Structure 1
Amino acid sequence: MKLRITICLYRLLLILPAIVGVGCGDASAQSLNDCVLNRPYADMRRWHLGFSVGIHTQDITFSHNGLITAEGEEWYMEQPGFSPGFCVNGLVDMRLNSLMNLRFTPGLYFGNRDITMREYNTGAELRQNVKTTCIVLPVDLKFSGMRYRQSRPYITAGVMPAFNITRSQGDYLRTVPAELFLTAGFGCDFYLPYFKLVPEVKFCFGITDAIEHDRTDLEDEPDKLKITRSLRKALSRMVVFTFYFE
């Protein structure tokens, strides 16, 4: 009986790499240190290309200046909820060394933000849906860990200029044509037989004012202009979840 148990445990140890390792081939032909790597030289190329698709949410934080209008009104803005948006990017990746890559991922972000505007004294509310279609030009440094079997985790840090191409006239609030974001993220390279699948989460923090304050289009509409005049500054934020195919 003890001999049978020992043989079973030995066989379990032999097939364990096939159970926990992705793409390690036939378990009966593998040992613990013999895992066939998919695309073993993929990370040694100087350049490679790819693309990504994903979803994101947009947020905005408002800083108010406490303006009180001639009618005694004091307005405050907030974004009470989040709506998912869609994004698609290209990828140009340059290998700097064994652990670091420089990545350029131009793309398009489609999204919207529902803004609620409240008057402090009466509780009156106004609402506006701010839709955005942005051309983004992110540049990131990718810091990768050591590869383990068919996966390799990494973190990123960089900057992302964004250019909004859908700016309407006559709204309570209007976003500026260009913003700048600082970005940080993390992900993991998964090596499949013919390509790398890379899920990634990225956090984007706006560092420039997102609201246009010079509203010449509202000079004849003081009831709308008072909303913009109540703001000192607004900063955008985004959370982006993407799948890269490299």
Structure 2
Amino acid sequence: MKKFFILFAVLVCTQEMSAQLFSKEKVQNLQNFDKPRFSWGYILGLNSYDFNFDYTGDFEDEDIIVDKTIGFSVGLLGNMRINDYLDLRLEPMVTFTRRDLTFNNPLFTSQFESFREVKSTYVHIPLLLKISTKRLNNFKPFIVGGISTSINLSSNEDNPDDNNSGEFRMKTNTNYFEVGFGVDLYLYYFKFTPSIRGVFAMSDELVKDNDPNSLYTSTIDKMSTRGIFINFTFQ
């Protein structure tokens, strides 16, 4: 009998939660929040950047091992409403990240030769199209996609020293395409939006070493960034 009452209570609670979540009669927070043409907000987030390497000849991906870390991002949001389902978004942000590279070459006998710590500070500027569903009570799922550009303030592109001096060099400017999804949560005082987005570079970012036969870069045909952003937007 005790188990029956527990099961009954769980079913009642589940039914009540479902009614609160999906019932059309629930009072909506911030009912007119999405009506203005323009709106603003700020972004806090986490990121994880990686490198994708394409090699010349018969070289394998294991030649360079990439260890990813968790970085953080901070930025602003400018949103232009097109209609109830489409928004155009500009999200300039600054992202901080680090990738550790290990060159798996038997000719390297010390950590100074085989290991490179690549710290990056990006000014990242995406222009995105947000496609939303119809608002359901106090939440609204969406998908988002678009293009972006970045300035790598730590690129070392113009540094005359290369890997032979311990300096790993990248190009300063990079273009990307982005795709992701998220959900708008309409709280009592503000709109909170968690989202996940994949970021993929469209160009080669590697600045090769001065020596065309460099043990570090001569076997690399292309190096491009790929990453994951987890953003929390407040409006």
Q: TM-score, normalised by structure 1?
A: 0.78
Q: SS in structure 2 opposite 1:137? A: strand
Unaligned runs of 5+ in 2: 1-7
Question: Does 2:147 match 1:136?
Answer: no
Cα distance in structure 1, aligned partners of 2:57 and 2:44 = 41
Q: Distance in 2 between matches of 1:94 and 1:49?
A: 9
Change (3 A) 1:33 1:155: closer
Query: 71, 90, 93: which is aligned to 1:107?
Result: 93
| Among 229, 232, 238, the residue aligned to 2:221 | 232
Three-state SS of the structure 1 residue aligned to 2:95 is strand
Give the Å deviation of 1:89. Answer: 1.3
Out of 172, 182, 185, the position equivalent to 1:187 is 182
> Does 2:193 align with 1:198?
yes
Q: For residues 178 and 36 of structure 1, what CA distance do their matches in structure 2 show?
A: 47
C-alpha separation between the residues in 2 aligned to 1:17 and 1:67? 61
Q: Helix, strand or coil: the match of 1:21?
A: helix
For residue 122 of structure 1, report the CA deviation from its aligned partner: 5.8
Between 1:121-130 and 1:232-241, the stretch displaced more is 121-130
- Tell me, yes or no, if structure 1 residue 62 matches structure 2 residue 49: no
Equivalence for 2:3: none
Contact preservation (8 Å) 2:142, 2:181:
yes
**Rg (Cα) greater in structure:** 1
2:72 corresponds to = 86
Per-residue deviation, 1:175: 1.1
Q: How much has 1:123 moved relative to structure 2?
A: 7.8
- The SS at the match of 1:211 is coil
Question: How far apart in 2 are the matches of 1:189 and 1:237?
Answer: 25
Partner of 1:4: none
Structure 2 residue corresponding to 1:44, chosen from 35, 40, 43: 35
Return the letter of the residue paired with 2:216: I
Task: Give the CA deviation at 1:229.
Answer: 2.0
| Cα RMSD, aligned residues only | 2.9
Equivalent residue number for residue 3 of structure 1: none
Aligned length: 214
Work out the percentage of aligned pairs sharing the same amino acid.
Answer: 26
1:76–1:230: 8 Å Cα contact kept in structure 2? no
CA distance in structure 2 between the partners assigned to 1:83 and 1:20 by the alignment: 42
**2:4 aligned residue:** none
1:71 aligned partner: none
Match of 2:63 in 1: 76
Match of 2:205 among 194, 198, 210: 210
- Over 3 Å counting, the alpha-carbon distance change for 1:33 and 1:111 in structure 2 is closer
Unaligned 5+ runs, structure 1: 1-7, 25-31, 69-74
Query: Partner residue of 1:72?
Result: none
Picking from 124, 129, 146, the partner of 1:158 is: 146
Cα deviation, 1:160-219, whole Å, max 9, x if unaligned, reads 101100134434231110111110000000001111000000000111111113x4xx46
Corresponding residue SS for 2:71: strand
Cα distance, 1:17–1:41 mapped onto 2, change above 3 Å: farther
